[in-house]
Each structure stands twice: as structure tokens, then as C-alpha cells.
């Protein structure tokens, strides 16, 4: 059973460009979570989604960031007009149900030049 | 405001000895605690968890202890192995809130 997949593993963008980060949860998992780890910091929650629904987006910046988890396909974290402060590791986790342990993907390392 | 605190940024132990990693929390609403291990350039790997209704949970070489009155938990690894060298994160959540609140991590080095 494949684990949580994230791609790309590394992404370089120039200021003002868009970044799209993809997350395919483990098979049978319908709950997806996105976390961000800034340099020298711990992980910070961004958003929790279930298929086609955003359940909790309390950790998402109000502007430029959006997330979706469509009925078919991976979850997408989209960052518009990236700035240098968006440079971080973005981790996706999934769980089979509401109360279960979250299992993490390898992360996408975003570098904004 | 750091609700989950890991006050030791690093820890070094000898192979075969016990490693004890500590974690303190401030939010009394937290009722579920987890430990994750993380290698460089990889995602966190789940190790062990504990519910607030328990004070101890054991899985092989890993044991987590929870002291609710002190708002403190610890992860014991015994015996420690060189492959245990990684960053260990303590995380917590509260009730129906699924978001995990993370500490800053403790870097463990197990020396052969």
C-alpha cells in the first residue's frame, strides 16, 4: 500500500509566480491535511479537507492561498503570487477517518527566488 | 504562543542506553498526544500516541508517559539505536479539532 504521495518534491518559483502542490492520500483515506514548516520552526497547520469539502482552514493565510480536494484526483494547495516568505516545506497528511492518526507524505520544498 | 514546547533542541545518548525526550503543553483542552520522528528531507513518521485517559502507552522500544497534572509527556526509547537518530516532534490535538499543534522538535543523536 503506497504511502502519501506529494509532487513535486522540489519546486522553484520566482516572486509573483504561482505554485501548485499536489497530494495523493493513502488508498482508502478521504481526509487530507496540509502543514507548513518554515525554516527553523515546527510544523504549522494550514487546512483540513475531506472529499470536496474544506473542513477547517483556520491556518491558511487569508490571501493568495487556496486548497481543494476534488472528488477525483489529488488534493491541491495553490499559492498565487508567491513571495520569498512562502519558501518552506509543505507537508500533506491523510487519514482514513476523522479520528485516525495522520500519516505524512515526504513534503514539497518550495523555494521562491 | 507555543502551546506545545520541547525545551531541549538536541539530545545525545550512547547506543544501548535510554533516550528520554520531553514535551510540555499549556492547553488543558488537549486530549490526544502523538510523537513523530523525522529524518532530513522526509516527512514526519508516526511513532506512538497516547490518549489523555491513559498515563502510559508502550510499543516495542517506545513508551510514552503522560502526566496530565503537570501537562507533561515524555518519550522513552530503550535501548537506543543509531538508526533512531532523527528529529522527534511532539504534537497534540483537542477533541473534535483535528489540527495537530506541534513542538519545535528535539534532535536526537545516538552514538555507536
Inter-chain residue contact A42 with B97, CB threshold 8 Å:
no
pLDDT at A26: 94
Residue A1, pLDDT > 90, answer: no
Q: What value does the mean pLDDT take over residues B10-39?
A: 96
Residue B96, pLDDT > 80, answer: no
pLDDT in tens, B34-64: 999 999 889 999 999 999 999 999 999 999 9
| Strand pairing report for A10-13 and A108-112 | parallel
Q: What value does the mean pLDDT take over residues B68-74?
A: 97
Which residues lie closer than 8 Å to B70 by C-beta, 6 or more apart?
Answer: B24
Q: What value does the mean pLDDT take over residues A11-28?
A: 96
**Number of CB pairs, chain A paired with chain B, less than 8 A apart:** 57
A35 to chain B: which residues are within 8 Å by CB? 100, 102
Inter-chain residue contact A43 with B100, CB threshold 8 Å:
yes
Q: Is B105 left (phi over 0), alpha (psi -120 to 50) or beta?
A: left
pLDDT-derived band at B95, boundaries 50, 70, 90: confident
Amino acid at each position: 500500500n503506497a504511502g502519501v504521495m506529494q509532487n513535486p518534491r522540489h519546486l522553484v518559483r520566482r516572486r509573483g509566480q504561482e505554485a501548485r502542490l499536489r497530494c495523493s492520500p493513502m488508498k482508502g483515506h478521504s481526509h487530507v491535511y496540509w502543514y507548513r514548516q518554515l525554516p527553523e520552526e515546527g510544523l504549522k497547520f494550514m487546512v483540513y479537507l475531506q472529499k470536496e469539502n474544506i473542513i477547517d482552514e483556520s491556518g491558511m493565510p487569508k490571501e493568495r492561498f487556496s486548497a481543494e480536494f476534488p472528488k477525483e484526483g489529488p488534493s491541491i494547495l495553490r499559492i498565487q503570487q508567491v513571495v520569498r516568505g512562502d519558501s518552506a516545506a509543505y507537508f500533506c497528511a491523510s487519514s482514513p477517518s476523522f479520528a485516525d492518526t495522520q500519516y505524512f507524505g515526504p513534503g514539497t520544498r518550495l523555494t521562491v527566488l | 504562543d507555543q502551546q506545545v514546547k520541547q525545551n531541549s533542541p538536541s539530545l545525545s545518548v550512547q547506543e544501548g542506553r535510554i533516550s528520554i525526550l520531553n514535551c510540555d503543553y499549556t492547553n488543558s483542552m488537549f486530549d490526544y498526544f502523538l510523537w513523530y520522528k523525522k529524518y532530513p528531507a522526509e516527512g514526519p513518521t508516526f511513532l506512538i500516541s497516547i490518549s489523555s485517559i491513559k498515563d502510559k502507552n508502550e510499543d516495542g522500544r517506545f513508551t510514552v508517559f503522560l502526566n496530565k497534572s503537570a501537562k507533561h509527556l515524555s518519550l522513552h526509547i530503550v535501548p537506543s539505536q543509531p538508526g533512531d537518530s532523527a528529529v522527534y516532534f511532539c504534537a497534540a490535538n483537542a477533541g473534535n479539532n483535528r489540527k495537530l499543534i506541534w513542538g519545535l522538535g528535539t534532535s536526537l543523536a545516538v552514538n555507536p
